Structure 1
């Protein structure tokens, strides 16, 4: 594995998980140059500096960045400090192992952006509930992880990405596509993620639903769920509800079985799919209400935009000078398990050339 950089944006209100994260950083620092961009308050920042001295490059977010989404500030600050061509961006709850870290590194030899597949471990009840969303995304295309691999020179040429949106992962994906980048999304490149506690899970429901405002087809489906359920209940037509629940479970199970997913997604996670669909149906309307009130609350302010359309990103140039002529972006899935010695040649892979306004799966 070549030497890679690892950027971890962080903003903590307490240090309950400090020992666990420190142990991970100690392991990780032997395999990558780690840059922690820490937006925690002064007392916590000082404690982190003491604990991580000699393990990581520990810095404050750049003062000249004024993004509404603090994670983008952290990512951009980290990419400024990175030196390796291959960089992993990961949330503070993501836990790579040696194999998955090496796989991302190898895939970046052919792709500008690598999109792994997160899975929760351990799996309390609320993580199983949220895993149903992951399974449905896998069945329909690809999930949105809390980690990416990116080629630093490409990130610099495209001028970064918009930090004033809520769904920063989708914004990064779309910006890479708008600049002609190649995205690899191996469905079997599994990277562990620690689940949030139950209170944080509940606090994220409407905010996650707000992401659908950037994906009109998904939003339309979400908003149709409650009227459809209400109509069935008023007519006492329970059979369609049962059929819908079975279809949701079947679709989630298809996502679970994809690319060896049964080894990381337990069988009962697919059973939560109807619950998640109903949740999204409720929270979709709450998200629309939040949009009408000026946006969804986030870190003490409101964010109105979920993400920018690819066409707008192309028109605005992504915040950088023209990158020159590049081929259209191609999405490819390296293998069924994603853990290959070398990424395949383009002609042997599944290649899709997305349309300018195509919403990602």
Structure 2
């Protein structure tokens, strides 16, 4: 496996009001990368985090001049201002790289300004298998969106950072790089591990994840069509319904097997696709309703109207 020759940087934006279990991972990571944790937690928790693992990494607050409705973007920009390395990994606090995935993702920046890897859950409780089925469909039809990216520091600053007032911030960064002439590379393997959320967090994110599709009109149209398509299939008979389910499961299975995915995705993952489709069929309509009636989706005490800008809009900005 090709490895980057320079020591990379790692930016971890964080806002957490509990004793997040990061010390072991940060100890491992700090031996391999220049690590900056940008912590937007409340003062008591910020100090608690600093006491727990501030000696391992650069532990800082988001820069005060940044006014971002999406706090993660403020964390990313702050971190990119601090690091010195040319290759920078950006990752959520539930992402867990290992030696191989860290080497592969940073090496992929050869010839690219931004790298988009893919995630997999481990362990995989029932709700993660449910959500994994979404990832498998994405893999079958193109690529999945992860909780981690890698970027060249110089390109990030040259291309003008990205908007901090959108919900789907990773898509916004990807589109910003593309719109301004940067090179984006998608990786299907190796897959980077992600820790599972608790069931409450999973349930709370259903409509918010559907809201992301407002930035992808073609995808949103397909998701809004799920319920009408199911109703039509039911009218035509059980065989039509069964046929549609079989096609969806086979498509997800193709995504599971693509580019070595079968090594990390559980064998029954594709069987959860009908449940995810039913969920998205309902939640996509709820997301549109929230946009129309409430003006945006709830996010950390406020509302975000925009999921992400289109590439065309970013090119003219």
Give the shorter-chain TM-score range.
over 0.9
State how 1:298-313 maps to structure 2 within 5 Å. Answer: 298-313=299-314
- The secondary structure found in structure 2 opposite 1:114 is strand
Tell me, in whole angstroms, the C-alpha distance in 1 between the residues paired with 2:51 and 2:246.
Answer: 53
Tell me, in whole angstroms, the C-alpha distance in 2 between the residues paired with 1:123 and 1:276.
Answer: 16
Tell me, in whole angstroms, the C-alpha distance in 1 between the residues paired with 2:233 and 2:274.
Answer: 15
Shift of 1:97: 0.3
Corresponding residue of 1:140:
141
Kindly provide the CA deviation profile for residues 157-193 of structure 1, in whole angstroms up to 9, marking residues without a partner as x. Answer: 0110011110111111101100111111121121100
Kindly provide the CA deviation profile for residues 171-216 of structure 1, in whole angstroms up to 9, marking residues without a partner as x. Answer: 1110110011111112112110001000000000000000111111
Corresponding residue of 1:181:
182
Instruction: Report if the CA contact (8 A) 1:168-1:307 is conserved.
Output: yes
- The secondary structure found in structure 2 opposite 1:163 is coil
Corresponding residue of 2:197:
196
Corresponding residue of 1:260:
260
Corresponding residue of 2:170:
169
Give structure 1 stretches of 5+ with no counterpart.
Answer: 317-361
Shift of 1:243: 1.0
> How many equivalent pairs are there?
312
Instruction: Report if the CA contact (8 A) 1:2-1:105 is conserved.
Output: no
Tell me, in whole angstroms, the C-alpha distance in 1 between the residues paired with 2:96 and 2:171.
Answer: 21
- The secondary structure found in structure 1 opposite 2:38 is strand
Corresponding residue of 1:274:
274
Shift of 1:117: 1.2
Corresponding residue of 1:6:
10
Tell me, in whole angstroms, the C-alpha distance in 1 between the residues paired with 2:95 and 2:291.
Answer: 30
- The secondary structure found in structure 2 opposite 1:242 is helix
Corresponding residue of 1:243:
243
| TM-score normalised by structure 2 residue count | 0.97
Corresponding residue of 1:31:
32
Kindly provide the CA deviation profile for residues 119-174 of structure 1, in whole angstroms up to 9, marking residues without a partner as x. Answer: 00000000000000100000011100000110000000011001111011111110
Tell me, in whole angstroms, the C-alpha distance in 1 between the residues paired with 2:106 and 2:180.
Answer: 21
Kindly provide the CA deviation profile for residues 226-276 of structure 1, in whole angstroms up to 9, marking residues without a partner as x. Answer: 12222333x262222111111110110010010111100011001111111
State how 1:1-361 maps to structure 2 within 5 Å. Answer: 1-15=5-19, 17-18=20-21, 21-233=22-234, 235=235, 237-292=237-292, 293-316=294-317
Tell me, in whole angstroms, the C-alpha distance in 1 between the residues paired with 2:219 and 2:108.
Answer: 29
Instruction: Report if the CA contact (8 A) 1:179-1:314 is conserved.
Output: yes
Tell me, in whole angstroms, the C-alpha distance in 2 between the residues paired with 1:140 and 1:236.
Answer: 27
Tell me, in whole angstroms, the C-alpha distance in 1 between the residues paired with 2:203 and 2:54.
Answer: 35
| TM-score normalised by structure 1 residue count | 0.85
Corresponding residue of 1:345:
none
CA RMSD of aligned residues (A): 1.0
Tell me, in whole angstroms, the C-alpha distance in 2 between the residues paired with 1:91 and 1:186.
Answer: 18
- The secondary structure found in structure 1 opposite 2:189 is coil
